[in-house]
Structure 1
């Protein structure tokens, strides 16, 4: 269901969503453009920059070199850093990121708690305090059994650190395992000075209501978020989950098809037509390198003309082989 949508009228003061695009460009050139809120490079060989708006995401692209992902707004942008925290703001929008080494902060649970506590402190002090979307990238996400799994420790820490961070409802989110330093945690978010509207998938149990078998602390995210002006749907990491269970365990082709059904159901529940176009960039996360060609061929057939960045990443459940997230512009 669409949460918080009792008033169907779009706020006349709502902020147009940032423009998200993929582009082959040097970070310095992209960051010099007016209105650049954030720029993301992918993989260990991506160019680096000391600009707080630039983030190197520790996920390798299958088709390198990968383009930059750019977020741009129609307003001047200011930025800054405070220790491990970096931020940029403009046009009513806020980008914030933090990167921490779990070895320096007491392990996975304590590090996730610290990351979310510091993000909460930053965002709650600003006008742009309505969090729309969060990305979590952590190493060795499936390492450990049962409650000792790395991802479950992360979920425990995230819940402890957020406090009342998301008192108005959970934002859209992604959590993916990277293949870089196993102790490296990266979290970044997009927030606004106006609230968005949460969207759930009728084919799936809301993540925060998952049963105990998925850990002491259920994941804390909405399936998607309609951004304040109603012009974009920010889609959370979406995989072959039906109800609360993983479907078609270890069957890539069936998981790909089921994920597309979930995307269509999510779009329908958001009041949007099915399908994506060339203005709606997506990220596809593939667990096994050997599956990349099959995934690329499938997405080429099912999403022709849609910009999809294919990344090597582990899904939060070890039996899942594929996940997709991104943006659907109206």
Structure 2
């Protein structure tokens, strides 16, 4: 079990189109069957659901939690339920990350009712967490963000790691574009989240770069965070990768940040994430690509045209992942990560699924692809794509 851990991703859709419970049961059984048949261990299970409101979401969450714990018991992988609607006729769809049993061992655990797992090779460890969250109508986004980051920090302490080890985050922010009047100021949900993120990184992350990340909306209020962290081998290189056609997000000017900052701050906090993270060990590599949209420099392009935005987004990802760009920033790179292992596509308007899917399928072919409805972090962005490539 030497070398870089290389994941296998699969999208699981229901084999029926009846009730949520029946669709979920179908997905769960497929998850169990795939794990056994293909000698795979799941390290994260993302459950995307169509919810009509909090009560519906809580009922769905209870069914998912009961099913996962019943079927997996002490070997339960990290799982989370996100209010991002999948394509019709599905009420639920799973995106699952697996690792082959002969490639790495996996240790499952739970801390304060939050499942996690540690994927181990002889060289290093990966730590996966899903659903560090506060999804509730009685907490605002700042409070929800504090609760989610605090829970994640507590879990990291339990595992003996820190935010310095975080390679990738998924940040699901309820009604991300909403603007509220708070303390006489217009406060946007995404900016409220960014302030809390900045605070935790300043306090608990001492390295100079940031994780790769997605900051994306979900249907109702609250915040949920998934994370991927790495520790171990001194020969493992983890390199922040810039995009030659996009500004660094953490250098965005105030003109593209919406609303007013909190009372204690002089200006809005930009989103602190890298465009990608390159993981390299010997002659193997993985490229973890953040949520990417139709932005050149720091400005949105392709306004009002979802097909043009999709094409530009793909071009931006290709510029980021090009061998020239990677080797410019990490000259000692051996094998270039050139094979897509999955994509996840967030589409603002459900009516645009077909247009976006056609363009993505033409380009990515049979790569496992998850399509969900979600607000992107700017109101004029209609699509966002994240991805991972392996050598």
TM-score, normalisation: structure 1: 0.84
Equivalent positions of 1:162-311 (< 5 A) are 162-168=201-207, 169-179=209-219, 182-194=220-232, 196-213=238-255, 214-215=257-258, 216-229=268-281, 230-268=284-322, 269-271=325-327, 277=339, 280-311=341-372
Matched-pair contact (CA < 8 Å) for 1:114–1:161: no
Matched-pair contact (CA < 8 Å) for 1:235–1:326: yes
- Distance in 1 separating the partners of 2:2 and 2:152: 23
Question: How far does the alpha carbon of each residue in 1:104-138 deviate from its partner, in whole angstroms, 9 at most, with x for none?
Answer: 5x521122123223323432553554111100112
Matched-pair contact (CA < 8 Å) for 2:84–2:372: yes
Give the match for residue 95 of structure 1. 128
Higher helix share: 2
Matched-pair contact (CA < 8 Å) for 1:246–1:319: yes
Matched-pair contact (CA < 8 Å) for 1:264–1:275: no
Give the match for residue 320 of structure 1. 381
- Distance in 2 separating the partners of 1:316 and 1:83: 31
SS of residue in 2 equivalent to 1:253: helix
Q: CA deviation at 1:164?
A: 3.7
- Distance in 1 separating the partners of 2:276 and 2:5: 15
- Distance in 2 separating the partners of 1:274 and 1:258: 23
- Distance in 2 separating the partners of 1:183 and 1:262: 31
Q: CA deviation at 1:227?
A: 2.1
- Distance in 2 separating the partners of 1:102 and 1:67: 23
Q: Does 1:79 align with 2:108?
A: yes
TM-score, normalisation: structure 2: 0.72
- Distance in 2 separating the partners of 1:310 and 1:137: 15
Q: Relative to structure 1, is the Cα distance of residues 329 and 17 closer, same or farther in structure 2, using a 3 angstrom cutoff?
A: same
Q: Does 1:60 align with 2:85?
A: yes
Structure 1 alignment gaps of length 5 or more? 1-12
Matched-pair contact (CA < 8 Å) for 2:169–2:226: yes
Matched-pair contact (CA < 8 Å) for 1:173–1:222: yes
**What root-mean-square deviation, in Å, do the aligned CA atoms of Structure 1 and Structure 2 show?**
2.9
Structure 2 alignment gaps of length 5 or more? 13-26, 51-59, 70-75, 259-267, 328-332
Instruction: Single out whichever of 196-205 and 19-28 deviates more from structure 2.
Output: 19-28
Question: How far does the alpha carbon of each residue in 1:211-240 deviate from its partner, in whole angstroms, 9 at most, with x for none?
Answer: 122151100100001124352101100001
Matched-pair contact (CA < 8 Å) for 1:281–1:306: yes
Give the match for residue 20 of structure 2. none
Q: CA deviation at 1:52?
A: 5.1
Matched-pair contact (CA < 8 Å) for 2:48–2:82: yes
- Distance in 1 separating the partners of 2:198 and 2:136: 17
SS of residue in 2 equivalent to 1:155: helix
Give the match for residue 8 of structure 1. none
